[in-house]
Structure 1
């Protein structure tokens, strides 16, 4: 990995300045340097301080960077305003993450998921769930009040990525005659090892789990739970990992 690639890899955690005099035909020379290192430039926008902001992706990771007014330097990293708001993350969400997941929403609907909650619930949330994931288990515990109140329906897109038996457990749940009941059985026995693998069910559903694994990879998601929901404004938001209380409220509404 080159020094520039290491810089980009840590872009959301640190800030650095790159200087270049290489000529380019389209983007300014400093931006071309990033492109040569594997950054795909997606959008540009007006940024504070007379700078031009850019958002892009590298190895499935979204990042923001800023061209200085002289056009000779590009700053890769996080920009905060005087109140501490993360302007880089807001730009990434608006220009990269939101559109990306909005186009993927139909694929989530067509994936292989297990319904958890009232089928008529006002809020539908998709979450990539590995049966061996302790954070998926805790997320389901967090969501219990909303699910029991009939306000939220979780749709568990079952994947098998964490342990050797993750795929077979996921396929056992998906391949059962009543996947919702199997999911409940797994949840209630999680601390004792979860659902017992049933080879017949695995045979019936292992290809569905593999398809979910592929979908997760295609979307650039790297951890479970990875949860997607549609806000009141129609925009799709993704929360990776265990949601904090504020994210949980945004996702599900006021606690019942």
Structure 2
């Protein structure tokens, strides 16, 4: 667990991101049984402010490096780390909502939770079919160790630059935590969701999509 010594605000935010992964280390990973607990944990880590407006972050994401699943008019940006168990849970929960909610999920990979995260994020981005590479990572996700299944690679210069940019966008939200989800609401205002939502709350949240 984290040391109790005083940290700078920046270090604290980084630690909260890692806390999500460490919280599951002593228990089996069961989405159904742990959803409410995850939601409570995520709420307790919610940021007080952002370093950029949600509209500015949305604009930056439009020009970020991502790949898409679905072709609906309702766009969601999902910032994820390949080794994040909470991202794994959210990706699973979103699958049944893509068609009925007419979603286009734009996956924005980052790599910071584990030493292998950057290489795995690069492997997904540089794959001929990034979405297929994502499924490879998620289907073989190790629930006990909380590790994505895809084999890490050495990023190309372009990919390394893209991943750094993606991470800077995440940091601009005010919290270096994954998953982070952004969408446009019915008033055409960009909204940021840091919380880990269970299936019911996720479906309710997505009803507000523009």
Q: TM-score, normalised by structure 2?
A: 0.67
Question: Which position in structure 1 is the counterpart of 2:162?
Answer: 208
| Among 84, 93, 106, the residue aligned to 1:155 | 106
State the distance in 2 between where 1:247 and 1:231 align: 15
TM-score in terms of structure 1 length: 0.56
Q: Distance in 1 between matches of 2:165 and 2:109?
A: 10
Structure with the larger RCO, 1 or 2 (CA within 8 Å, 6+ apart)? 2
Pairing 1:251–2:208 present? no
Equivalent residue for 2:55?
102
1:172-223 deviation line (CA, Å, top 9, x unaligned): 1011121121112212122274111234xx2252221111112211232221
What pairs up with 1:223-242 in 2 under 5 angstroms?
223-242=177-196
The separation in 2 between residues aligned to 1:150 and 1:167, in whole angstroms, is: 31
Residues 138 and 193 of structure 1, relative CA distance in 2, 3 Å threshold? same
Distance across 1 between alignment mates of 2:188 and 2:112: 30
* Distance (whole Å) between structure 2 residues aligned to residue 233 and residue 150 of structure 1: 17
Higher mean C-alpha displacement, 127-136 vs 171-180 = 171-180
> How many residues were matched structurally?
161
Does residue 121 of structure 2 align to residue 170 of structure 1? Answer: yes
Runs in 1 of length 4+ with deviation above 3 angstroms?
Answer: 244-247
Partner of 1:15: none
2:57–2:172 Cα contact (<8 Å) kept = no
* Alignment check: 8 A CA contact 1:171 1:205 kept: yes
Q: Which residue of 2 aligns with 1:113?
A: 66
Q: CA RMSD in A?
A: 2.9
Q: Which runs of no fewer than 5 residues in structure 2 stay unpaired?
A: 1-7, 13-46
Q: Which has the higher strand share?
A: 1
Partners of 1:102 and 1:247 lie apart in 2 by 23
